[in-house]
Amino acid sequence: MFVEKFKAGRIVAGAVLTALALGLSGCGSTAKDDPNSQAALDKLYSDAKDDLNSGSYDRAIKTLERIEGRAAGTTMGQQATLDLAWAYHRSGERAQAVTTLDRFIKLNPSSPAMDYALYMKGIVNFNEDLGLFGRLANQDPSERDQQASREALLAFRQLVEQFPESRYAADATTRINFITNTLAAYEVHVARYYFNRKAYVAAANRAQSAVAEFQYAPGIEEALYIMSESYDKLGLAQLRDDARRVLDKNFPASQYASGNVKSKRRWWQLW
């Protein structure tokens, strides 16, 4: 009887020890394979960087999305978001890149990388429009849809105003000047379009809008000329004379002011 109880006790004790051993083993395995552990996240991020560097953007995007979710609220999570935006941009997904950057800017207002996020947002929209030197030498950027340019301009201006000492500020300023000239040229292009079709009211209004918004852009010279000619066609002598007076004062040597309008090289044509 005693022997049987002892054997039964050994069996029970063995079962308990086995269960404990399995439990401990399971806990060790769980800790080791925890997808949210720092080691696992470091490995994922290393893989994502390798994919980014090799141009495997689709694969990098999937990995970075996983990291972003698992490391939310951490420095690694912020870096993953910025890298994700870059991967979207490089893969041609502008809308996704901008959305990702907007999310970063909203959720991380005090991040040390805020200036870079603004700069990247400007770059994404800037490149969508045409690029600094243009993808096509004979394509006038003023003839394209300017929404992306306006969004880039806002991002670059915010960067320069909030972070004047940023390493990206100087380049952002150069791009601000270029975009401003592009937007002014676009307004003049539209005004010229209306004028050539004898829609003089629309032409005058569009030219006036360019003058009011972009006072120092190269295209303002032609905008003033279109205004004066449009008012002349409409029989509005006072407005015509006012526009010509401003043109003569600000551009005394202008070919438009002299009435000797000749074709000339556009300001945006660099070669």
Whether 218 is in a domain gets the answer: yes
Whether 30 is in a domain gets the answer: no
pLDDT at 83: 95
Q: Quick check: 158 pLDDT over 90?
A: yes
Whether 238 is in a domain gets the answer: yes
On whether both 117 and 44 belong to a single domain, the answer is yes
Using alpha carbons, select from 30, 32, 96, 24 the residue that is nearest to residue 58: 96
Tell me the per-residue pLDDT of 74-124, one tens digit each, with 9 for 90 and over.
999 999 999 999 999 999 999 999 999 999 999 999 999 999 999 999 999
Q: Quick check: 176 pLDDT over 80?
A: yes
On whether both 207 and 171 belong to a single domain, the answer is no
Host domain of residue 77: 36-180
On whether both 88 and 167 belong to a single domain, the answer is yes
Confidence of residue 253 (pLDDT cuts 50, 70, 90): confident
On whether both 41 and 164 belong to a single domain, the answer is yes
On whether both 211 and 138 belong to a single domain, the answer is no
On whether both 207 and 161 belong to a single domain, the answer is no
pLDDT at 140: 53
Count CB neighbours of 167 within 10 A: 10
On whether both 171 and 57 belong to a single domain, the answer is yes
Confidence of residue 42 (pLDDT cuts 50, 70, 90): confident
Q: What is the mean pLDDT of residues 120-140?
A: 64
Q: Quick check: 231 pLDDT over 70?
A: yes
Which stretches within the chain are classed as H helix?
2-33, 38-54, 57-70, 75-90, 94-107, 114-129, 147-162, 169-196, 200-213, 220-233, 237-250
pTM of the model: 0.72
Q: Rounded to 5 degrees, what angle do the CA atoms 183, 194, 137 make?
A: 45
Question: In this structure, what CATH number is given to the domain that contains residue 46?
Answer: 1.25.40.10
On average, the pLDDT of the chain sits at 81
Percent of the chain with pLDDT over 90: 58
In angstroms, rounded to a whole number, what is the distance separating the alpha carbons of residues 79 and 70? 13
Question: In this structure, what CATH number is given to the domain that contains residue 220?
Answer: 1.25.40
| Total of domains in the chain | 2
Q: Quick check: 173 pLDDT over 60?
A: yes
Least confident of 78-82, 145-149, 235-239, 251-255: 145-149
In angstroms, rounded to a whole number, what is the distance separating the alpha carbons of residues 110 and 87? 23
Tell me the per-residue pLDDT of 6-25, one tens digit each, with 9 for 90 and over.
344 443 334 433 443 444 44
On whether both 75 and 205 belong to a single domain, the answer is no
On whether both 159 and 79 belong to a single domain, the answer is yes
Tell me the per-residue pLDDT of 194-221, one tens digit each, with 9 for 90 and over.
999 999 999 999 999 999 999 889 889 9
